[in-house]
Amino acid sequence: MFKRIFTALGKFYRYLDTVNRIKATEMLVFELNELENIFTIHLFGSFVGLPAPPMAMAIELLPYMEDELRLMISRADLAKDATATVMDMLRVD
């Protein structure tokens, strides 16, 4: 009887561990995406009226920033709210 209880508790804790790891991974991916967006806005801030680094630096990094620029343009089109995304990930109702 105790063996079944300990087995069930072990399965329960492994399940909790898996859920927490998945949520932590989702949060890290979200944070990485937001940091890439912030870097893109800092680098190409002149497009939105913010002070920007020297244009020579932005031009040198342009080939590496192709995906981020596409994402920034699509986000501008969709006007997605970052706070709502965070609340959705945290399952806040």
Residue 32, H or E segment: helix 2-43
pLDDT in tens, 20-78: 999 999 999 999 988 887 887 777 776 667 777 777 777 787 788 788 777 777 666 56
Contact present, 74 and 40 (Cβ < 8 Å): no
* Cα–Cα distance, 69 to 93 (Å, whole number): 32
More confident residue, 71 or 80: 71
Judge whether 52 and 44 are in contact, CB under 8 Å: yes
Q: Is pLDDT at 11 greater than 70 in this prediction?
A: yes
